[in-house]
Chain A
Amino acid sequence: MTDPLFEFLCRLGDNTLVLGHRVSEWCGVAPVLEEDIALANTALDLIGQTTMWLNLAGEVEGAGRDADALAFRRDVWDFRNLLLVEQPNGDFGQTMMRQFLFDAWHVLYLTELEKSSDARVAAIAEKSLKEARYHLDRASETVIGLGDGTEESNARMQAALDRLWPYVGEMFDSDAVDMDMVAKGIAPDPGTLRPGFDATVNPVLRKATLTRPESDFAHRGGRSGARHSEHLGHLLTQMQWLQRAYPDATW
Chain B
Amino acid sequence: MYAQMIKSTGQNVKSPEEMDPQERAFQERVDAGEKIEPKDWMPEGYRRTLIRQIGQHAHSEIVGQLPEGNWITRAPTLERKAILLAKVQDEAGHGLYLYCAAETLGVSRDHLTRDLLSGKMKYSSIFNYPTLTWADMGAVGWLVDGAAIMNQVPLQRTSYGPYARAMVRICKEESFHQRQGFDIMMKMANGTEAQRKMAQDALNRFWYPSLMMFGPSDENSVHSAQNMAWKIKMNTNDELRQKFVDQTAPQAAFLGLTIPDEHLKWNEARGHYDFSEPDWDEFFDVLKGNGPCSADRMEARNRAWDEGAWVREGLLAHAEKKKARKVAAE
In the complex, are there CB atoms of A and B closer than 8 Å?
A: yes
Q: Find out whether the CB atom of A150 lies under 8 angstroms from the CB atom of B77.
A: no
Picked from A33, A152, A251, the residue with its CB within 8 Å of the CB of B310 is: A152
- Residue B74 is within 8 A (CB to CB) of chain A in the complex: yes
Q: Assuming A145-B314, A145-B319, A148-B321, is B76 touching A91 (CB within 8 A)?
A: no
Which of B20-28, B87-95, B264-272 lies at the interface? Answer: B87-95
- Residue B114 is within 8 A (CB to CB) of chain A in the complex: no
* Sampled A-B contacts (13; CB under 8 Å): A21-B73, A27-B65, A27-B88, A29-B69, A35-B311, A44-B85, A142-B315, A145-B315, A146-B318, A149-B316, A246-B194, A251-B80, A251-B187
Which of A2-10, A169-177, A234-242 lies at the interface? Answer: A234-242
- Residue B312 is within 8 A (CB to CB) of chain A in the complex: yes
Chain A 140-177, CB-CB to B under 8 Å as 1, else 0, gives 00101110111011101000000000000000000000
Q: Find out whether the CB atom of B74 lies under 8 angstroms from the CB atom of A241.
A: yes
Residues of chain B within 8 A of A67, CB atoms compared = 78
- Residue A131 is within 8 A (CB to CB) of chain B in the complex: no
Shortest Cβ distance from residue A21 to the other chain B in the assembled complex, whole angstroms: 6
Q: Which of A86-101 contact B (CB under 8 A)?
A: 91-93
Residues of chain A within 8 A of B307, CB atoms compared = 31, 91-92
Q: Find out whether the CB atom of B78 lies under 8 angstroms from the CB atom of A149.
A: no
Shortest Cβ distance from residue B209 to the other chain A in the assembled complex, whole angstroms: 20
Known pairs A40-B85, A145-B315, A146-B318; list 4 more (Cβ under 8 Å).
A24-B73, A28-B300, A48-B82, A238-B74
- Residue B262 is within 8 A (CB to CB) of chain A in the complex: no
Chain A 163-200, CB-CB to B under 8 Å as 1, else 0, gives 00000000000000000000000000000000000000
Residues of chain B within 8 A of A47, CB atoms compared = 78, 81-82, 85
Shortest Cβ distance from residue B140 to the other chain A in the assembled complex, whole angstroms: 14
Shortest Cβ distance from residue A231 to the other chain B in the assembled complex, whole angstroms: 13
Shortest Cβ distance from residue A140 to the other chain B in the assembled complex, whole angstroms: 13
- Residue B298 is within 8 A (CB to CB) of chain A in the complex: no
Shortest Cβ distance from residue B314 to the other chain A in the assembled complex, whole angstroms: 3
Q: Find out whether the CB atom of A250 lies under 8 angstroms from the CB atom of B187.
A: yes
A51 CA / B77 CA spacing, docked (Å):
10
Residue of B nearest to A20 (CB): B81
Shortest Cβ distance from residue B76 to the other chain A in the assembled complex, whole angstroms: 4
Picked from A36, A51, A92, A144, the residue with its CB within 8 Å of the CB of B92 is: A36
Residue of B nearest to A29 (CB): B304
Could you say which interface size class chain A belongs to? Answer: 35 or more
Shortest Cβ distance from residue A96 to the other chain B in the assembled complex, whole angstroms: 9
Shortest Cβ distance from residue B155 to the other chain A in the assembled complex, whole angstroms: 21
Q: Which of B65-120 contact A (CB under 8 A)?
A: 65-66, 69, 72-82, 85-86, 88-89, 92-93, 95-96, 99
- Residue A41 is within 8 A (CB to CB) of chain B in the complex: yes
- Residue B40 is within 8 A (CB to CB) of chain A in the complex: no
Could you say which interface size class chain B belongs to? Answer: 35 or more
- Residue B256 is within 8 A (CB to CB) of chain A in the complex: no
Shortest Cβ distance from residue B48 to the other chain A in the assembled complex, whole angstroms: 24
Residues of chain B within 8 A of A238, CB atoms compared = 73-74
Residues of chain B within 8 A of A152, CB atoms compared = 310, 313-314
Picked from B73, B79, B314, the residue with its CB within 8 Å of the CB of A146 is: B314
- Residue B317 is within 8 A (CB to CB) of chain A in the complex: yes
B residues engaging A (CB < 8 A)? Answer: 62, 65-66, 69, 72-82, 85-86, 88-89, 92-93, 95-96, 99, 134, 187, 191-192, 194-195, 300, 303-304, 307-319, 321
Shortest Cβ distance from residue B32 to the other chain A in the assembled complex, whole angstroms: 35
Shortest Cβ distance from residue A211 to the other chain B in the assembled complex, whole angstroms: 17
Residues of chain B within 8 A of A21, CB atoms compared = 73
Q: Which of A53-74 contact B (CB under 8 A)?
A: 54, 67-68, 71-72
- Residue A248 is within 8 A (CB to CB) of chain B in the complex: yes
- Residue A25 is within 8 A (CB to CB) of chain B in the complex: yes
Residues of chain A within 8 A of B315, CB atoms compared = 142, 145-146, 149, 153
Q: Find out whether the CB atom of A37 lies under 8 angstroms from the CB atom of B92.
A: yes
Shortest Cβ distance from residue B116 to the other chain A in the assembled complex, whole angstroms: 13
Q: Find out whether the CB atom of B191 lies under 8 angstroms from the CB atom of A37.
A: no
A32 CA / B311 CA spacing, docked (Å):
9
- Residue A1 is within 8 A (CB to CB) of chain B in the complex: no
Q: Find out whether the CB atom of B311 lies under 8 angstroms from the CB atom of A93.
A: yes
A53 CA / B254 CA spacing, docked (Å):
38
Residues of chain A within 8 A of B86, CB atoms compared = 40, 44
Picked from B66, B85, B195, B318, the residue with its CB within 8 Å of the CB of A148 is: B318
Residue of A nearest to B61 (CB): A33
A28 CA / B303 CA spacing, docked (Å):
11
- Residue A43 is within 8 A (CB to CB) of chain B in the complex: yes
- Residue A201 is within 8 A (CB to CB) of chain B in the complex: no
Q: Find out whether the CB atom of A27 lies under 8 angstroms from the CB atom of B85.
A: yes
Picked from B65, B300, B308, the residue with its CB within 8 Å of the CB of A31 is: B308
